[in-house]
């Protein structure tokens, strides 16, 4: 979080990622992911954090969790809320992320959070659930459907070519059969 990043912080981040790579799951994986996260935070400057702010959408003003998870080589699930029986947050990485964002907001690195509800709106009181922005999901689904359709078209073109070749063979055989039939009718 300081402007000068020590080479030791970067080295510690790389070592934590290597250590985490050897762990398959369970509590040890969670501890290793937390170590990677803690080392990762120390490798970023305020300018780095500014570049990770989501500009628009439902999470505008928050840090981009997907890019952070990619850089840390950890699953994005570590940023999901997990609560105990009493409703207390138990995800150490998520708690750390919230503390980081609060600290960055306090220092002016992140913009202040803005209530997205229009004045006088009581969507929480009415029990109304805000709609999610699914344009990226729809776009990805359309791209996937298009790719599948193109693959199907290519497969069908190959099938048509094979059937045309087979048809030519059968037409050739038909001509031979007709010629043989004609020969059989000729009196000897």
Q: DSSP states of 115-141 as a string?
A: --SPTT--TTTTTPPPPP--HHHHHHH
Distance CA 82, CA 88 (A): 8
- Structure tokens, 103: 């600290």
**Residue showing tokens 């990622």:** 17
71 within a domain of the structure (yes/no): yes
3-class DSSP assignment, residue 82: coil
20 within a domain of the structure (yes/no): yes
- The string of pLDDT tens digits covering residues 136-172 is 777 788 888 898 898 999 999 999 999 998 888 888 8
3-class DSSP assignment, residue 49: helix
Residues 111 and 139 both lie in one domain: no
Q: What is the mean pLDDT of the chain?
A: 76
Domain count, the chain: 2
Residues 144 and 97 both lie in one domain: no
Residues 60 and 94 both lie in one domain: yes
Residue pair 20/26 in contact (Cβ under 8 Å)? The answer is no
26 within a domain of the structure (yes/no): yes
Residues 148 and 188 both lie in one domain: yes
Which residues in the chain come in under a pLDDT of 70? Answer: 1-7, 9-27, 56-57, 84, 88-90, 114-135, 188
Query: What is the extent of the structural domain holding 162?
Result: 135-188
- The string of pLDDT tens digits covering residues 59-75 is 777 888 888 888 887 77
Distance CA 132, CA 178 (A): 69
Predicted TM-score (pTM) of this structure = 0.49
Residues 148 and 183 both lie in one domain: yes
Residues 111 and 141 both lie in one domain: no
């Amino acid at each position: 979080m300081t402007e000068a990043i020590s080479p030791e912080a970067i080295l510690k981040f790389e070592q934590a990622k290597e250590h985490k790579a050897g762990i398959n799951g369970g509590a040890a994986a969670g501890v290793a992911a937390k170590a990677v996260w803690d080392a990762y935070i120390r490798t970023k400057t305020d300018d780095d954090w500014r570049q990770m702010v989501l500009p628009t959408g439902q999470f505008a003003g928050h840090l981009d969790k997907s890019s952070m998870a990619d850089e840390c080589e950890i699953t994005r699930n570590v940023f999901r809320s997990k609560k105990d029986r009493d409703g207390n947050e138990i995800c150490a990485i998520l708690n750390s992320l919230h503390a980081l964002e609060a600290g960055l907001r306090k220092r002016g690195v992140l913009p202040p959070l803005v209530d997205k509800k229009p004045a006088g709106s009581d969507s929480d009181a009415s029990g109304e659930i805000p709609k999610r922005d699914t344009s990226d999901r729809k776009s990805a689904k359309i791209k996937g459907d298009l790719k599948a359709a193109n693959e199907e078209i290519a497969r069908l073109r190959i099938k048509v070519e094979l059937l045309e070749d087979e048809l030519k063979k059968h037409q050739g055989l038909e001509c031979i059969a007709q010629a043989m039939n004609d020969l059989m009718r000729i009196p000897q």
